[in-house]
Amino acid sequence: MNPARGSLLGIEHLEAAEIMRILKFARRMNPDKPRTLLKGKRVLLLFYEASTRTRSSFEIAAKSLGAHTVLIQATGSSVEKGESLLDTGYTVRAVGADIIVIRHPNAGAPYVMAQHVDVPVINAGDGLHEHPSQALLDAYTILRNKKSFKGLQVAIVGDIFHSRVARSACHLLSKFGAKIILCGPAELAPEIAATLASGVRVTRHIEDALRGTDVIMLLRVQTERLAGLKIDLAEYIARYQMNPARLKMAKKDAIVMHPGPIIRGLELTSEVADGAQARILEEVRNGVPTRMAILARAIGRMR
């Protein structure tokens, strides 16, 4: 079965024009001015993995559009009793879900769901694969700070290998002709990452990544996903931590982004996190209108 219209499974196969449509619509969305686009609709939030920002943001977005939301978490539900992904999908469909938002530790889980359950499925992060709503809200944030993506240089620093945010960001920025530099140690930023999209290159040197850069995206070292990889955190900090001195290597008007959660003292210092160039909380704020647009699109009301 093909995924239902309105599904958002990833950025890779989304056309640039469709991305712009979502971003433009998101600009018209405002959680402080509730609308009724999703009135009477049921949005099922299926969270198989911990989340603060994405979950609350989707929930507020859905409610701001008049939808009912139901949150199902792996712990405290039948998932814990061994129910399969698809059986959970069939169940929430039977309960009356109009949209399924799913966060899952396994790459591709939303695809499997979308191929078997005939409601729009929104990927809220799947394993190491993609995090499309994050990429869209980051794009939204960039466009509020920079004129356009064209000619923009974006440095993504940190744990690229384990990052669905990085993969989605690369796909999105590449579609609009941005230059993307991935930076980190070989274990976290493998050379193969350059094959992800056109305009992507990999460097080990933070100076190389930052010189002339307009946007710095920092990533957390995902210690919970390292699976045996040995990363010397002290060395990581010495070579890659974003501090005020390094920030000066980038363009004067460069902005600092981070999908969160941030770990102060590891991938960035407090001066940077709280500094004038940081857009970390703005990203969180922008998550709501962006996800309002994503939800409206899911049921064909993004007009």
Partner 1 sequence: MTSSKNNHGSLLIKGGHLIDPAARIDGPMDVLLTSGRVAEIAPSNKIKGAADERLDARGLVVAPGFIDLHVHLREPGQAHKETIATGTAAAAAGGFTSVCTMPNTVPVVDSVEWIEWLRQPERGAVVNVFAIAAATRGSKGVMLSDFRALQTAGAIAVTDDGKPILDDNIMREALVLGGELNFPVVQHAEDTRLTENCSMHAGARSFRLGLRGMTAAAEASIVGRDVQLAMHIPNARLHVAHLSTADALKSVRRGKRAKVRVTCEVTPHHFALTDEDMRDYDSNYKMNPPLRSPSDREAILVAIADGTVDAIATDHAPHAAHEKEMEFERAAFGITGLETALGLAVTRLHREKRIPLSRIVELFTAGPARCFDLRGRGSLARGSVADVTVFDPKKKWTFEAAKSRSKSKNTPFDSWQMTGKVVATVVGGRIVYAG
List contacts with partner 1 (CB under 8 A). 12, 84-86, 104, 106-109, 111-112, 115-116, 126-130, 161, 164, 167, 190, 192-193, 195-196, 227-228
Asked whether 51 and 75 are in contact (CB, 8 A), the reply is no
Give the type of residue at 24. Answer: K
User: From the CB of 132, what's the least distance to partner 1, in Å?
Assistant: 13
Of the pair 6, 289, the CB lying nearest partner 1 is at 6
Of the pair 31, 108, the CB lying nearest partner 1 is at 108
Which two structure tokens, joined as six digits, stand for 243?
Answer: 């501090």
Q: Which distant-in-sequence residues (6+ apart) come within 8 Å of 188 by Cβ? A: 158, 159, 160, 161, 162, 221, 231
Query: How many angstroms separate the Cα of 270 from the Cα of each of 192, 222, 241?
Result: 32, 19, 11
In 246-286, the DSSP E strands lie at 255-257
User: From the CB of 180, what's the least distance to partner 1, in Å?
Assistant: 15
Of the pair 41, 131, the CB lying nearest partner 1 is at 131
Q: Nearest CA to 292 among 8, 49, 5? A: 8
User: From the CB of 302, what's the least distance to partner 1, in Å?
Assistant: 24
Instruction: Return the H-helix or E-strand segment holding 124.
Output: strand 121-126
User: From the CB of 28, what's the least distance to partner 1, in Å?
Assistant: 32
Of the pair 83, 282, the CB lying nearest partner 1 is at 83
CA 192 to chain CA centroid, nearest Å = 21
User: From the CB of 197, what's the least distance to partner 1, in Å?
Assistant: 9
Of the pair 104, 246, the CB lying nearest partner 1 is at 104
